[in-house]
Amino acid sequence: MPKSNQKSTKEHGLVGIWVSADEYASEVEYSVTPKGTTFRVKATDGNDGEVADIFEVKWDGEVLSFATHWNSTGRFARCRLQALSKNRVSLTYTYTDNETFHRKSK
């Protein structure tokens, strides 16, 4: 995307602290701050204060993508954050999960 069409990250609508609009959903809080021509992301679990490791932060001019790793559970998630309006963002994420299986009886 040409630079003339990109907003400065300092003034961008993604900058702020974001919490779920659904009070019964995730308690993770995402903090987005400007960092040069991209952003810095911090993810904090509101239940126990754990802070996720953040990797691969990428800004394409429309969508902020990043990966999180939660050390307590080993859960790794890929996230995409996009501004919808001044006070709303959309967060799409995919994550790893683990189950134990046993052999079915005959």
Of the pLDDT bands very low, low, confident and very high (cuts 50, 70, 90), residue 8 is low
Query: What integer best gives the mean pLDDT of the chain?
Result: 88
Q: What share of the chain is helix, strand, coil (3-state, %, to 5)?
A: 5, 50, 45
Which one is predicted more confidently, 101 or 7?
Answer: 101
Of the pLDDT bands very low, low, confident and very high (cuts 50, 70, 90), residue 9 is low
Threshold 0.75, pTM exceeds: yes
Count CB atoms within 10 A of the CB of residue 22.
7
Q: How far apart are CA 29 and CA 86, in angstroms?
A: 17
- Counted residue by residue, the chain has a size of 106
Q: What are the extents of the domains in the chain?
A: 10-95
